[in-house]
Each structure stands twice: as C-alpha cells, then as structure tokens.
Structure 1
Amino acid sequence: MRKWFSATEIRKSELIVKEVLAFIDENEAQTVSMVDDILGCPHEEGIDYPEGEHCPQCLYWKGRDRFIDRIS
C-alpha cells in the first residue's frame, strides 16, 4: 500500500498519476478499481482521530454517508 498527498487537486497532478501507474506496474496488479468521486476526507479513522467519531478537521463529512452522499 502507498499513499500520495498534495496541497492541490491530486487527481490532476501529472507527477502523481505517473507514480500511481508505476506503482501499479511494479506490483504487477491484475486489476485496478477506482471511483470517479471523492469518498471522504484524507484523515484515517483510528489513526488521525478515534474510531467511531467524525473527523474534527473535516466537518463537511460529519453525519454524511460518503457512499450515498446524503446526511445520515
């Protein structure tokens, strides 16, 4: 597993796209899955904030079901 970070729109970074493609190639991936939208904040539950709580840095996602994009 590898993570990429950017202060700007990461999906439009030519450098990061090249690195992701190289990572996929280096690991001989047979299949790749991706989504066409952002599925949540970049902070990790249990690492950046306690499990079962909302991210205190990204209040937009508080109470929101990121898979169906509505307030739960």
Structure 2
Amino acid sequence: MTFKAQWYRDKFVKKRGKGFCGYPVATVAFYGPDDSRATKVSVGIVAHEGADADPVERWFCQSTDARTDPEVTEAIIRFIDHHGAKSVAAVDRNIGCPHEEGIDYPDGEKCTQCSFWADRDRWSGEIMQ
C-alpha cells in the first residue's frame, strides 16, 4: 500500500473511531453480493437530527473490495471533508446486497442476483427463520 493510500485509510479509521462529535454526520455503508467482498459503498451526509441523508454518493468496485480500495477510500474522505461532516458512522462489514429495491428489482421482493442475502438479517448476518 502506498503512503498516500495508507494516509487516507488511517484518516478514515480515525474519523470513524471518534464517535459522535456533532452534525453533520457522514453515514458509510458497504454492500456486496455476499459477506466476503464489498462491491459498493454508499456515503450520505445527515445535516441534523431527523434529516434524511442528502447528498448521497455511491462508488462501485468490480475487481477490488470497496472497503480496502485506495481510490475509493480517498474519494470517501474527500466527500466527507467537502461536506464538513463532524461525525462518521460506519461499520467494516457488508450490510446487504449492492442492488437497490425498486430500482434493480421490484419493491417487496428479494434480489435474484444475490441469494446470499435472501434470508439473512443485514445487521447481524444471521440467517432468519
């Protein structure tokens, strides 16, 4: 890993580890077809309590893992800094399928491309009964 890539990675880890420091808050979510590789990351800026995330930016990785891709990490940090986020809320793992309900597949249905998530709780990763 280059010095620049490590610097951005360390900066992201530090921002995420600080906890709540006020608004605006950047929310960072990783998605993938299973739990082994993130192919999408979505970052939203929440301006104040009760607000929806706006703006929201998404990055996609076809051949690398979005959680460790240096270009994606740099883009995330630049987006967070550009919007003046004081706090960063993120987890290191995938929290679901990279496809969007109502866009990539019909509302209320399961993604036909990501069977791994079909019967799995996105937060715990456990299979639901």
Give the alignment's Cα RMSD to 1 decimal.
Answer: 0.9
Count of residue correspondences? 72
Counterpart position of 1:2: 57
- Unaligned runs of 5+ residues in structure 1 are none
Greater length-normalized contact order (CA 8 Å, ≥ 6 residues apart): 2
Identity of aligned residues (%): 44
Counterpart position of 2:104: 48
How far off is 1:37 after superposition?
1.0
Q: What TM-score does the superposition give when structure 1 sets the normalisation length?
A: 0.92
Q: What TM-score does the superposition give when structure 2 sets the normalisation length?
A: 0.53
With 60-69 and 22-31 compared, the bigger mean Cα shift is at: 60-69
Counterpart position of 1:24: 80
* Amino acid in the other structure paired with 1:3: R
- Unaligned runs of 5+ residues in structure 2 are 1-55
Runs of 4+ in 1 over 4 A off after TM superposition: none
Of Structure 1 and Structure 2, the greater strand share is in 2
Residue pair 2:67, 2:92 contacting (<8 A) in 1 also: no
